[in-house]
Amino acid sequence: MQHGHVGRKRGGYLMHRARLIFQDGAELSVPVEAGQTVLEGALAVDAPLRYDCCTGSCGSCVVQCVDGTTVVDSTGKVPVNADELAEGLRPACLTRLSSDATFEMPYPLNAAPSLPAKHSGVIFNLRLAAPSVALLTLKLDRAEGLTFQSGQYVRLAAPGVGEARAYSIASTAAELPLIELMIRLVPDGKMSRWVQDTAKVGDRVRLQAPLGSFGLDDRAHRHVFVAGGTGLAPVLSMIRSLRGRGASALLCFGCTRRQDLFYVEELAALAASMPELEVRIAVMEGAEGALRSGTAVSLLDPTDFESDTVCYLCGPPPMVDAARKTLSAHGVPAGAIRAERFQPGG
């Protein structure tokens, strides 16, 4: 990081400026006072920085620092690892400025999705896709005014389940008022128990949407997706929204065991209907036939990447970390890698 300009004193406080460059080239400059985080400074002037938890957990506010010196509060949770910090990724909710600084947002200023709002709806469809994965389709009562970007997530509140949980949206905005979610079923998870034992078509639910900043870089001509387990959901939405856009896409999808694998037929049908899409699937245990043995990351090949390829990672943190290392070894620059860091609970 280069040193930026010396801060100015305003009303006795040292102040720096954060220059925010959005994916569509739009720029904003916001004042960040001493003691303020970049996110607090941006929100104080209503700059549309995406955020959710403000506690370093969700990763929604992670931006790329390209210039300036920053201090990241690491006393609590930090949603990026040491390698990602070294590459310039900064959670805006934990980042303070020691100089003027420039950040790149992984999303456009225009057209932005609608602001997060609370919605209600009913269960439209619910089925087990594998013993450990449920596909839950919700029908919102009112979807007017709601738009989301493929890759974003919702916070779902189910009746009798105390804490609302976050799930990425697998469908696209074109399918609204329907929203499809992939729910990983874990032993003794409250939401898992609700899905397995209680939930039925017609039941009412509430949700908050849209949330998060994971999304396509529409400047790229080739998109490579690496998804593990229910990390498939946001990636699927992104792939579905690529249809007919002229870009090529590769999906590397992996599950741990053969019996955990889901959505195989749907992915085959999707690939058959999208000539620009190639799908590779692997399982670590029980591979046979067209299934390869290994992880989603092991499906990547050095020849998969062109100069303007952007890669998207969603899955358990070890998979995301392994994918970053492999992509780096294949010469993919850090700035061309996007990861969804949110790990849904049970």
Partner 1 sequence: MTLVDRRLLCEAGDVAPGGMLKIQPEGLDPILVCNVDGKLYAVDDECTHAIASLSEGRLQGNIVFCPLHGGSFDVCSGKAKSLPCKQALRTWPIEVADGKVYLLLK
Beta carbon nearer to partner 1, 164 or 291: 164
Minimum CB–partner distance for residue 205 and partner 1 (Å): 10
Beta carbon nearer to partner 1, 34 or 271: 34
Beta carbon nearer to partner 1, 157 or 264: 157
Minimum CB–partner distance for residue 70 and partner 1 (Å): 18
The 3-state secondary structure of the chain reads CCCCCCCEEECCEEEEEEEEECCCCCEEEEEEECCCCHHHHHHHCCCCCCCCCCCCCCCCCEEEEEECCEEECCCCCCCCCHHHHHCCEEEHHHEEECCCEEEECCCCCCCCCCCCEEEEEEEEEEEEEECCEEEEEEEECCCCCCCCCCCCEEEEECCCCCCCEEEEECCCHHHCCEEEEEEECCCCCHHHHHHHHHCCCCCEEEEEEEECCCCCCCCCCEEEEEEEHHHHHHHHHHHHHHCCCCCEEEEEEEEEEHHHCCCHHHHHHHHHHCCCEEEEEEEEECCCCCCEECCCHHHCCHHHCCCCEEEEEECCHHHHHHHHHHHHHCCCCHHHEEEECCCCCC
Minimum CB–partner distance for residue 210 and partner 1 (Å): 13
Beta carbon nearer to partner 1, 39 or 232: 39
Minimum CB–partner distance for residue 19 and partner 1 (Å): 22
Asked if omega into 210 is within 30° of 0 (cis), the reply is: yes
Minimum CB–partner distance for residue 206 and partner 1 (Å): 6
Beta carbon nearer to partner 1, 114 or 208: 208
Beta carbon nearer to partner 1, 43 or 327: 43
Minimum CB–partner distance for residue 105 and partner 1 (Å): 18
Classify each residue of 31-43 as buried b or exposed e, where b means 16 or more C-beta atoms within 10 Å of its C-beta: bbbeebbbbbbbb
Q: Which two tokens mark 105?
A: 């947002």
Minimum CB–partner distance for residue 104 and partner 1 (Å): 22
Beta carbon nearer to partner 1, 194 or 263: 194
Q: Which residues bind partner 1 (CB under 8 A)?
A: 39-40, 43, 51-55, 93, 118, 155, 157, 162-164, 206-208
Minimum CB–partner distance for residue 156 and partner 1 (Å): 8
Q: Are 329 and 252 in contact, with CB atoms under 8 Å apart?
A: no
Beta carbon nearer to partner 1, 2 or 55: 55
